[in-house]
Amino acid sequence: MSTFIENQNWRYATKKFNSEKKVSETDLEILKDAIQLSSSSFGLQPYKVLIVENEEIRKQLQPASWGQSQIVDASHLLVFANITNIDADYINNYAENMATTRNIPLESVKGYADFMIGNITSLTPEQQNIWTAKQTYLALGNLLNAAAELKIDVTPMEGFVPDQYDEILGLKEKGLHATLVATVGYRHHEDDTQHYIKVRKPKSELFETI
């Protein structure tokens, strides 16, 4: 745990990436594992993560990201997109995956699947989108922690225009909506913010025991 806290003190939202330094395929797979293993409501993982490597597309996304340089300079650009319509078919597919993975009869999880269908499909489209969008932040947390362990920088970004991302990446046609962006790579030695002391609320203000 002492290493975990040390890594959390090391990490920060990188403002300037070293565009010449790339994350290895081995480390990228570890980051993907961390995202895949993230917790989510019901275990449904109601989102998709796009890894944008195409330089031309990233140049198109930069103006839709308030012109921020991290979009094009970071080693990798990850776009978290929530699924905009979780229907009975999606949940039944999840139930089938559960039965296959655990080598149990599908009938044994039918009640659970029906419970999820009843609760989730009864949500309004707006409620469902808020719920699925929140799930992407859980996945981001795992990405941040795993990257810090590997001494890889990640900058979570909400400073972008989601509708423009949807258009450029063709997300709407896939039933997806961009909710969160994360740039992944290595800090540039010229990024002065890496030397700033981390500012957080004191524990006495942040926590309250009831």
Average pLDDT, 10 consecutive residues per value, the chain (210 residues): 91 97 98 98 98 98 98 98 97 98 98 98 96 98 98 98 98 98 98 96 98
pLDDT score, position 2: 74
CA–CA separation, 173 vs 43, rounded Å? 24
Residue pair 160/177 in contact (Cβ under 8 Å)? The answer is no
pLDDT score, position 151: 98
How many degrees, rounded to 5, is the angle at CA 34 between CA 206 and CA 22? 105
Class of domain 2-38+48-84+136-206: alpha beta
User: Where do the DSSP E strands lie in the chain?
Assistant: 47-52, 76-83, 153-157, 176-185
Secondary structure (DSSP) of 160-188: S-HHHHHHHHT-GGGTEEEEEEEEEE-B-
Q: Three-class SS of residue 155?
A: strand
User: Where are the domains positioned within the chain?
Assistant: 2-38+48-84+136-206
pLDDT score, position 1: 66
Predicted TM-score (pTM) of this structure? 0.96
Residue pair 143/32 in contact (Cβ under 8 Å)? The answer is no
pLDDT score, position 146: 98
